[in-house]
Amino acid sequence: MIRRPSAGNGSELEWFKSSYSSSSDINDCVEVANAPGTTHVRDSKSVEGPRLAITHHAWTDFVSYVSEH
């Protein structure tokens, strides 16, 4: 995954989108931000909307599972 910083919304987190998104709409993507001990996930179309915060271990397990299937 190549990281590209997303357009800022003024938050303290630095959000990234994958350059491997298969959508033709560059805004149709999931964004990820890392903080100490936590990975944050949000919908790029709703940057002020809900966010999911999970442990780095859980995020790594999820990404590994998705990559295998």
Q: What's the pLDDT score for residue 2?
A: 46
Q: How many domains does the chain have?
A: 1
Residue 36: domain span: 3-68
Query: Which mean pLDDT values do the consecutive 10-residue runs of the chain (69 residues) have?
Result: 48 77 69 92 87 94 87
Q: How far apart are CA 32 and CA 56, in angstroms?
A: 11
**Against a cut of 0.75, is the pTM above it?**
no
Secondary structure (3-state) at 13 = coil
In the prediction, which pLDDT does 20 show? 58
CA 14/CA 67 separation, integer angstroms: 24
Q: Is 43 exposed, middle or buried (0-12, 13-18, 19+ CB in 10 A)?
A: middle
Count of beta carbons in the 10 Å neighbourhood of residue 46: 9
Please report the pLDDT score of residue 43 as a whole number.
87
Amino acid at 19: S
Contact 9, 47 (CB under 8 A): yes
